[in-house]
A = this chain, B = another copy of it.
Amino acid sequence: MEYTNANSCGLTQFIGTAAGDTIGLVIANIDPGLHERMGIDQRFRSLGIIGARTGAGAQIMAVDEAVKGTNTKVLSIELPRDTKSGGGHGNLILIGAQDVTDARQAVETALRLTDVNAGELYISEAGHMEFQFTARAGEAFHMAFGAPVDKAFGFLCVCPAAIGLVVADIAVKSAGVEIVSYATPTKGTSHSNEVVTTISGEAEAVKQAVLAARKAAMELLCTMGPAPESPGVPYLD
């Protein structure tokens, strides 16, 4: 039972890892009995799997983009209560395909995009904040939050929840944006210490609302501890 840390391994199921304690995996041909138990669409025997300890928006948006224009489908998005010792979520996202090559390609793309998106995840000892913006939401954001497909979409998440509420108010007061979803510790989260707000509208308006929320969240989190840092490179400006 001795192994050394390695970013590769001999199992054909392993695709790779990414920021946010993320792993990408495939199952070429899921066991029929297990498939039935899983309660997912039975037409897809090949599964792509994105799972992470830390974050939700980065990975969901990565999958949202990765499945566009491919022969794959988002089957389920589950958000465990995780972020390691933090107050937020991890994730388990299943992608269905009829061919393992398609599943594998979707996972590879999703891992690459997770590294990009994790640039807008910021973590400190006191809490965390995550912001995502896309000009065109797809099926993953629709499944997870009810995002209107093909419209600009913004994701705003802050721990502790108190700060998340204040920045939600700031964001939704921006002209030209609508609230898509609003989740708190007891409604719509897995008891995380977050307020998670999503918005839709004109692309530029949504982006400006996200940036205003990010600025306020950063200032408020800094009153509780050291400045939150990103595991990646911020992509929103």
Residues of chain A touching chain B, judged by Cβ–Cβ distance below 8 Å, are 1-11, 13-14, 17, 21, 23, 25, 27, 30-31, 33-34, 37-39, 47, 49-53, 78-82, 84-87, 90, 92, 126-127, 159-163, 165-166, 168-169, 172-173, 178-179, 182, 184-187, 189-195, 216, 218-220, 222-227, 234
Q: A17 near B80 (CB under 8 angstroms)?
A: no
Q: A234 near B6 (CB under 8 angstroms)?
A: no
Q: B219 near A51 (CB under 8 angstroms)?
A: no
Given A34-B169, A84-B86, 17 new contacts (CB under 8 A): A5-B223, A23-B160, A23-B163, A25-B166, A34-B168, A34-B172, A47-B165, A51-B161, A53-B87, A78-B161, A78-B184, A80-B194, A81-B81, A81-B193, A84-B87, A92-B162, A92-B184
Q: B179 near A34 (CB under 8 angstroms)?
A: yes
Q: Which residue of chain B has the shortest Cβ distance to A197 in the bound complex?
A: B34
Q: Which residue of chain B has the shortest Cβ distance to A225 in the bound complex?
A: B5
Q: A82 near B87 (CB under 8 angstroms)?
A: yes
A52 cross-chain contacts in B, Cβ below 8 A: 160, 162
A192 cross-chain contacts in B, Cβ below 8 A: 80-82
A17 cross-chain contacts in B, Cβ below 8 A: 223-224
